[in-house]
Amino acid sequence: MCVFTYLPLEGDSYIVTNNRDESMARPKAIPPQSYVLNGKTVTFPKDPQAGGTWIAFSDEYTICLLNGALKKHQHKPPYKQSRGKIIPDFFNFEGFLSFSETYDFQGIENFTLIVIDNKAMSIDKLVWDGEHALHNTLDHKESHMFSSVTLYSDEIITQRQLWFQEFLNRNPQFSPEDVMNFHQFGGTGDKNNDLTINRNDELKTQCIIQIVRRNQESTFTYKDLI
């Protein structure tokens, strides 16, 4: 839920990879399984504490949620529901437009939602700042990287973008394995801010999940790091 990259491949294919940085006090996620939500088969890792997820994919969509909006906010519980419920709830709607116009975001903590539509080959980014839902469309032919503002300063986020661009420059013909290695080993050796983090054994990158979309099919790799 904390670092997410999207890299386009030829045609309508792409690679998305996500690092989950989480408190070690929180239970480990249940590895990805397929569930039927509103008649649709959706695959995702599950947070056993809240019962939700931060990333999921189906035939139609790949979706990722990052904690935080445009800037770091003050945590003010109680909240109406866990942010992890948002992605499963998405599949009760006809699509992104219906979801974004109808879903009740009031009372939910700040988040950023990335929605990839596999049929339309569009990428929508929805940011909820606690008061307003902000939407923009991203170019699906360009590479994108997002880091959670709740864990990383603007300076570190900018530095990560530079690492990402350097990776792309060094690997013009990247493979899914190359991207996975970048997510696991990218950085300068600073365990507090590298792509895989360990902050005093209290906050760690617990797992990395990668979804590869090719030939109208999605496959995943799940790497447990703890």
Residue-wise pLDDT tens digits, 113-134 = 999 999 999 999 999 999 999 9
161 in a domain, yes or no?
A: no
209: which 2 tokens?
A: 């999940």
Q: What is the CATH number of the domain that holds 56?
A: 3.60.60.20
140 in a domain, yes or no?
A: yes
Confidence class of residue 1 from pLDDT cuts 50, 70 and 90?
A: low
In this structure, are residues 37 and 44 in contact, taking their beta carbons and an 8 Å threshold? no
In this structure, are residues 184 and 208 in contact, taking their beta carbons and an 8 Å threshold? yes
pLDDT (tens digit per residue) in 134-154: 999 999 999 999 999 988 899
72 in a domain, yes or no?
A: yes
Q: What is the pLDDT of residue 70?
A: 67
Q: Is the peptide bond before 78 cis (omega within 30 degrees of 0)?
A: yes
In this structure, are residues 18 and 64 in contact, taking their beta carbons and an 8 Å threshold? yes
In this structure, are residues 158 and 15 in contact, taking their beta carbons and an 8 Å threshold? no
169 in a domain, yes or no?
A: no
Total count of domains within the chain? 1
